Amino acid sequence: MPFIPAKIPPFIKRIFPNYVWDFSSKDKILYLTFDDGPTPEITQWTLNTLKQYNAKATFFCIGNNVAKHPEIFQAILKEGHSFGNHTHDHIKGWKTSTKNYLENIRKAQGIIHSEIKNQESPINNLYRPPFGQLKNSQGKALIHLGYKIIMWSVIAFDWEHKISKEQCLKNVISKASAKNNIVVFHDSVKASRNMMYALPKVLDYFSKKGYTFKAITNAL
């Protein structure tokens, strides 16, 4: 079982107050996010599923995947979803020098921005660190460069094969709420078994409870 809890404890948020862990709102809103794409096997399915519930989401994309599958990234934009940077090669911050880490992020940002030219989607500076790993020096540098570091309130653990698809669903159903409203899924092959089971049920469950699903933007 993962040592990270499905719901981020409050003390973690207090230790890193300059990172975004949730959004204050009196309304029933969930911000569904998807890491590691775009991937041809799963991202389009994710887009189709979200569309059934008129749900908008945020896709934290790996630059290398955007370069390999630009048409899928374009589909994300055309469906009105938001996007963010997830490094170019899904590198681990704790094992990478700050200089190399920032360069990897710049490389991804260049590819992402080249794909949104002449599009209605505005350029944004949302960033999520792979594995949630970020040195203090890296975080400070990114904030100085104008990035908003988007973490999460609830994580589905959809990539973890030791967790059943039922437990993956329970992680979100039991923990997500208007107060814990940033949820992490992954549009990757590794996570597909659990995510494809859980996502439609999460959308159906919270839709019936009156929730809406919004994308994260620079304005938030």
Number of domains making up the chain: 1
Q: Which of 163, 155, 215 shows the shortest CA–CA distance to 184?
A: 155
pLDDT of residue 2: 46
In a domain? residue 8: no
- Domain holding 61, by residue range, is 20-213
Structure tokens at 206: 């919270």
The CATH number of whichever domain residue 96 belongs to comes to 3.20.20.370
What average pLDDT does the segment 100-113 reach? Answer: 96
The residue ranking higher by pLDDT, 25 or 194, is: 194
Q: Is the pLDDT of residue 1 over 50?
A: no
Write down the residue that tokens 């994580």 correspond to: 155
Q: Which residues of 29-38 are buried (b: 16+ CB within 10 A; e: fewer)?
A: ebbbbbbbbb
What average pLDDT does the segment 119-142 reach? Answer: 89
pLDDT of residue 118: 56
The mean predicted confidence, pLDDT, of the chain is 94
Residue 180, amino acid: N
Give tens-digit pLDDT for 66-102: 999 999 999 999 999 999 999 999 999 999 999 999 9
The residue ranking higher by pLDDT, 3 or 104, is: 104
Q: Which residues pair with 110 in a beta bridge?
A: none
In a domain? residue 170: yes
User: Considering the chain, what percentage of its residues have pLDDT values greater than 70?
Assistant: 95
Secondary structure E strands in the chain: 29-35, 58-61, 82-85, 126-127, 148-149, 154-155, 182-186, 212-213
φ, ψ at 164 (rounded to 5°) = -70, 160
What average pLDDT does the segment 170-174 reach? Answer: 97
In a domain? residue 189: yes
pLDDT of residue 3: 56
In a domain? residue 10: no
What average pLDDT does the segment 46-59 reach? Answer: 98
pLDDT confidence of 116, banded at 50, 70, 90? confident
Q: Which residues contact 82 (CB under 8 A, 6 or more apart)?
A: 56, 57, 58, 59, 121, 124, 126, 215, 216, 217
Give the Cα separation of 72 and 67 in Å (integer): 10
Residue 8, amino acid: I
Q: Give Dmax over CA atoms of the chain in angstroms.
A: 47
Q: Is the pLDDT of residue 25 over 70?
A: yes
In a domain? residue 219: no
pLDDT of residue 124: 81
In a domain? residue 56: yes
In a domain? residue 11: no
In a domain? residue 218: no
Secondary structure E strands in 43-151: 58-61, 82-85, 126-127, 148-149
